[in-house]
Every structure is written in structure tokens, then in C-alpha cells.
Structure 1
Amino acid sequence: MAAAGDGAARRGAAAVNAPFQRDGLRFPWDAPPEPGRATEVAEGILWMRLPLPMALDHVNVYALADEDGWTIVDAGLSWQTGRALWGELLAGPLAGRPVARVLVTHAHPDHVGLTAWLARDGATILMPRTAWLMARMLTLDVQDRPSAEARAFWRLNGMDPAEYARRLDERPFNFADCVDLLPPGHTRLVEGGILRLAGRSWDIRMGDGHAPEHATLWAREEPLVIAGDQLLPGISPNIGVHPTEPEADPLGEWIASCRRLAPHARENQLVLPGHKLPYRGLPTRLDQLEANHHGALARLEAHLAEPRRGGECFPPLFRREIGRGVYGLAFAETVAHLNHLVATGRARRWLAEDGAWRWQANAAA
């Protein structure tokens, strides 16, 4: 079992060795901490990693040291493996201090799942209000079969008929499968707020698009950003439309967030993301995150020279085969891009005789 000092040694080695570079970003570490171990990425800040039973097979979590205890940033999925690894971490690199606070960046299961478990001895839970409300609501909403709203959403947006038929008699994913019910109370994180953690003052800045009201933290005393999934390296987070808000334009919110955060980005900031490796080069990454979707929108618009159903729009967006395991995420992201084209006047839609929308680029109409 590693102590925090092991992480400090790795931090020193990373500072001495030249970081590797990729896609205009600089990475001080070439590997994550091993399970049950921690890497000290800055004084009093530990980086740890938990596994996930899905294609994106891990989530990064962080611990910030103060005299009264640790502030844990994000909690991982609620499952037996996650609880066991947290037990190792609490007995190992986190030993000697209690968990005083659990800070959740956003309400997705791999970030909020074990929050209540970590806070079971009275730790304060810090979250954006929207994240807390959504996590509470979705954990309490357990469904044995797809809701009428979900079925209508799939039909309207042109889900593949075979996939639609398979889903009708299957139990859908439920938040409660992997998220512990949050207690009825939290401390709200707000845009423009300031937190004092690990001897630093952190400005709270909210993102949107990947998740409503996604908290990011920006240190004032040194170039550090705790980013959650808002500022990932190497991959773009899923931006999807769901039956809870079928007319939403999360892609428009995402692009606006990138532009709103860009003035605060500096090349030397160490960004601590929710997945992948910590990196520097945030101005470049923000440009990449926005440009990625502009490219996808242009390909989709060209694809809509002919009227299309939503399920027919995967090829220009993903440019690979979409298996059943990720079909739902791909479908949600496709609808997000279609909704954005309509919202910005680049495409139109109408209801066809089969009860599904057809989309077509306005330039081709």
C-alpha cells in the first residue's frame, strides 16, 4: 500500500523528466497511479484512479488535504469493486485524516455514485444545485421497462427499428443500479463562488453541455484547474439529448461554455481531468474541443443533403461502426447535433408518415 510520500516521489520524477507531448498538449505523467495508490500532483493534492465496468474503463478522483480532513473530488461508480478500492485508499494513502468533504463536479454516475457512501460519517457534500437535484431525481426514478416518454423519444428521432424492438422488453439503465441515494441536503457550488481548499483559493466556474451546471475549480495561487469532464484531453465528452428534455440544445451550451472558459485558460495550468492523464496546454485544448464539434456538424450537414432519420446519421459523426453497447450514447449525441443544426437554422425537420422526424440541410432544401 502506498503512502502519500510515494506520490510525492513520483511527482518529483515527473518534474525532472521531460513530459511527453501529444496533439499540442504536454503530459507530466505517462501513466496513472496503480489501483490503491496515489500520485501527488501538487502540494497537498493526490490523484487516484478507480476502474469502471464500461468502454471508458476508469475515472480519476482527487483528494485535497486540509487540517480538518480530506476533500474528495468525485466518487466513482457505486459497485463492489469501487467500494473495495476506496477502502484500500482510505486505509493507505488517505490514512491519518478523515473525509471532511465530498465535492462532486457533475451528476453522472461515475462521478456521483459513491458520494453518499464516502460521506456516511458526516462529511459535507458540495455540489451544484442542478447536479444534486438531478442525481436525487434519477436515483429515485426506477423503471422496470422503458417509459412512454423514452419510447416516444426513440420513435420520433428515428432509432433503428431492430434496436427499438429489442429495447421495448428490456429493463433500461437505472441510476439506482450504480448510484447511492444522496442524503436530503448539500452545500451548493455556485458560479463565481470561492472555495478554500488545500491551502488555496479556488474560483468556481460552471460549464454546460456534457452535464448541466458542471463545476470546475481554478486555483488563484498557482496554475491548477480541477476540470471534471468539462476539459478532457484526447477525447470529447458525450454531449447528448435525452427523453427528459427532448428539445434541448446541449451542443450550443457546450460551445458557449468553451468560449466562456477560454479567457481563464493559460498554457502553464496543470489540468486535473475526470478521465485520462493530467495535462498542460488548456488554451489549445479548448480550441480543439470546440473545433471537434464544428467538424462533426459540417459532416452531418453535408450528409443531410438528402432527408434522413436520426438513426441514419451515425456515419458522418462517428466514422466507425457503433456497437450495441454504445448505441444509446451515440443516439443521444446524434440527436444533440441534429437539434443544434435546427436551432442554428442550418437544417429543418418535419414529421414523416412513419411518425419519425426527417432532417434535411437548409442549403439542400
Structure 2
Amino acid sequence: MSGLELHEGQTRDRLSFPWETPPQPGHTREVAPGVLWLRMPLPFALDHINLYLLRHEHGWVVVDTGLNTPQSREVWEAVFTEVFAGAPVLAVIATHFHYDHSGMLGWLVDRFQCPAYMSFAEYQALFVTPPKGDEPNWAFSQFFQRCGLDSDQVASFRPMLSQMAYDTHAPTSFRRLRENDLLKIGERCWRVVIGSGHSPEHVCLYSEDDQLLIAGDQILPRITSSIFVSVTEPEANPLGDWLASLRRFRQLPDAVLVLPAHERPFQGLHHRIGQLQQHHEAHLETLTTVLKTGSQTVAALCPVLFPRLRGSFDLLMAMGETLAHINFLREEGVLTRTLEDDAWRFGLASSGEQVFAAEDIHV
């Protein structure tokens, strides 16, 4: 699932936005020769996703697809007629596996009998789905129990998950994208830049000649992609992956025009990367400060980082984000973990104590 955290009141004085307003939902705008920005509607509080359409010889290459919904199909049908004027889709590139980015991937690929391009880990992630049924399975229940929630709180997540799940029409084959692969699309050459943390191997496309970066969810102007730990990999350290990715993206020119998956294209890449780093560093500092008073569960620490939760969905995402910061600090040797009453408790490591962030085995 895709989750994004809104930063209210964030300063953006060093970011510039070439377009004051986005295109209307279902409409396009040319942002560079042969590059169209398509605003696809979403049925969420975050009510849109930006897709990018790239001219190539006698057809088009599509970057990301929208949710697998009737509304998305209606928009695509209009694009086929009014924008593509009957020219075919020649390839579809998925930046990552989340529903809003890859929901229509198989539908487009099958319709035009064209290849899907994505990284290996993102393709594999298409087939990892939440457990089915109304009753939580043992791994799901145990994960949130270990976080410090009671059985009623855990049970409240399941109906919400079934309601928010969107089927992804996954293609039966794909062509793998790797770091530094080069794609010649039209007259432009794009280099693949891989990010990680928000998803396993998030694909971005960088055009050096035209200073364009199709960034997906990796770099956004006002919101930051959720960096969270889920039941699928409870010992993961996505925040470590995310921060390492940001350092790599800083090697790109600051003047690049960033074409994000949400909100408006912008310039000021290095300033925005600095903001994202500071945001997570502040979360890490807050956790270590609070834990000076004694060990805590994830559930107890969650409202410290996210005090304005509006419901079960917010709680689910906030728990995963909080655990991502905890797992980062554990891997850095800052925190220890003990199991008490079936819940993990996290505390500061004693001065000079050697800490290993390995999985504890309990039988």
C-alpha cells in the first residue's frame, strides 16, 4: 500500500514551481518536448497521482498507471483517443509496485501487447498481498501484539485493510530495470536511478541532457513518502535504505526539474533532500530523548511522533513509521529490545554496551 505523510507549515522558500496550477484531473500538460504530465484522480484525501507520457517514434511510453478502478479506465480511454490519437502504447514503466502506480499495469500491457519495465524487487512485490479473510492470521496478530496493541485494536485493522485493498492487474512477464540502465525514448536518453526505503527498488528516470528527473514517490515537494515496517518483513530497516538513497540522489544536479508522482513539478532538489533528512533526523532525536526516561513499546512511542491520528488507517501507518525509526536505531546500536508480556520494549543501550540488531529467537 502507499502512504504519504503531510508536512504542514513546511518552508519551501528555496523550491521553485514552474506551474502555479496542475492540469485538471484526467488532463495533460507538456512539461518538456515529448513529455506530458497526466493528472490521474484518486479516491483518497491525496486525490491524485501524476503519470508521465513519453513520445517514442510511432507511439508512447507510459510511466506509472493509476489505480485499477473504473475511473482510471475512463481516463485512459479518453487519453487513448484525445491525446494519443490512436497511436499505441509501446511500453509501460512502473516506478514501484504500490496500487496507485501499478494498478493498471497488466491492463495496459495486455491491451497493447507491449512490455512492462520495472525493477526485479518491485515486480516480485506485486505478488505479496495482505492476508485474506476477516480473521487476522497469526503473523499479522503477533506483529501488532509485539508492537504493544491489544487484540481488539489488532482486529480493528482487518476490515479497514479489506476495504482499502485494490487489486493490481499484474503482467505475466516484465523486463528488468537496473541502476544506470539507459533507455532511449524518442530523442531523449534516460538513466535509471534506483531508490529504496519507500519500496524495495524504486525506479526513477534521469535525463542528463534535459535535466529532468521522473521521481515517482522518491522525492516529493511537500509530503514525504511513508517509510514503514510491515508484517511482511518485521525486522527490515527501510529508513536506513531511504537515507542512503537520499545521499545518492544528492549527486544529481540541483537544477534538475523534478517530476514527482504527487503535487507539482519543482526545482530545488538538494534543498528538498535536506528537508527530508532533517525530518527523519528530528524523529530519531525525539525517540532517543523520550527513551531516556525508560523503555517503551512501539504503541507507546507512536503518539510521540504522530500526535494527531484520525483513525485506524492513520494508526496503522504511524505504527509502521515508528517501527522504521526504531529498527534504524537498533541497527545503529542505539537501542536494545526485550520481550515482556508478549510485547517488545525498546530502551537506550547502556554506555559501552555492545549491541547487535539480530533477530531474537524465542521458543
TM over 0.5: yes
Residue 185 of structure 1 corresponds to which residue in structure 2?
173
Q: Distance in 2 between matches of 1:320 and 1:92?
A: 43
Give the Å deviation of 1:268. 1.8
* Candidates 100, 116, 121, aligned match of 1:110: 100
* Candidates 336, 342, 345, aligned match of 1:355: 342
Residue 6 of structure 2 corresponds to which residue in structure 1?
none
Letter in 2 for 1:80: P
| 1:256-312: CA deviation from partner (whole Å, max 9, x where unpaired) | 111122112x23211000111100011111111111101111111112222211111
Letter in 2 for 1:355: D
Matched, 1:138 2:114: no
Deviates more, 1:303-312 or 1:97-106: 303-312
* Candidates 45, 62, 69, aligned match of 1:79: 69
Letter in 1 for 2:18: P
Q: Distance in 1 between matches of 2:314 and 2:73?
A: 25
Q: Distance in 2 between matches of 1:101 and 1:164?
A: 41
Structure 1 contact 143–172 (Cα < 8 Å) conserved = no
- RMSD of the alignment, in Å? 2.1
User: Counterparts of 1:174-323 in structure 2 under 5 Å?
Assistant: 177-264=165-252, 266-305=253-292, 306-323=294-311
Q: Distance in 1 between matches of 2:309 and 2:266?
A: 30
Report the CA distance shift for 1:47/1:171 in structure 2 as closer, same or farther (over 3 A). Answer: closer
Residue 334 of structure 2 corresponds to which residue in structure 1?
346
Q: Distance in 2 between matches of 1:133 and 1:152?
A: 25
| 1:211-247: CA deviation from partner (whole Å, max 9, x where unpaired) | 0000111102111001000011111100011111110
Residue 32 of structure 2 corresponds to which residue in structure 1?
42
Matched, 1:328 2:316: yes
Q: Distance in 1 between matches of 2:286 and 2:204?
A: 31
| 1:62-106: CA deviation from partner (whole Å, max 9, x where unpaired) | 100011311110001111111111222222223242111110001
Give the Å deviation of 1:328. 1.4
Structure 2 contact 59–84 (Cα < 8 Å) conserved = no
Residue 150 of structure 1 corresponds to which residue in structure 2?
140
- 1:164 is paired with a residue whose SS is helix
- 1:232 is paired with a residue whose SS is coil
Give the Å deviation of 1:197. 1.3
| Structure with bigger RCO (C-alpha 8 Å, 6+ apart) | 2
Residue 172 of structure 1 corresponds to which residue in structure 2?
161
| 1:177-236: CA deviation from partner (whole Å, max 9, x where unpaired) | 423331221011111111111311111110000000001111021110010000111111
* Candidates 122, 141, 149, aligned match of 2:113: 122
Structure 2 contact 120–177 (Cα < 8 Å) conserved = yes
- 2:16 is paired with a residue whose SS is strand
Q: Distance in 2 between matches of 1:174 and 1:103?
A: 27
Q: Distance in 1 between matches of 2:221 and 2:167?
A: 26
Deviates more, 1:337-346 or 1:318-327: 318-327
- The sequence identity of aligned pairs, in percent, is 38
Structure 1 contact 77–111 (Cα < 8 Å) conserved = yes
Letter in 2 for 1:321: L
Q: Distance in 2 between matches of 1:48 and 1:36?
A: 7
Give the Å deviation of 1:54. 2.0
- 1:360 is paired with a residue whose SS is strand
Deviates more, 1:91-100 or 1:128-137: 91-100
Report the CA distance shift for 1:116/1:142 in structure 2 as closer, same or farther (over 3 A). Answer: farther
- 2:27 is paired with a residue whose SS is coil
Give ranges in structure 2 of 5+ residues lacking alignment.
Answer: 1-10, 354-363
Letter in 1 for 2:199: A
- 1:63 is paired with a residue whose SS is strand
Report the CA distance shift for 1:62/1:99 in structure 2 as closer, same or farther (over 3 A). Answer: same
Structure 2 length as normaliser, TM-score?
A: 0.88
* Candidates 50, 54, 71, aligned match of 1:64: 54
Q: Distance in 1 between matches of 2:31 and 2:173?
A: 31
Give the Å deviation of 1:322. 4.1
Structure 1 contact 223–270 (Cα < 8 Å) conserved = yes
Number of residue pairs matched by the alignment: 340
Letter in 1 for 2:125: M
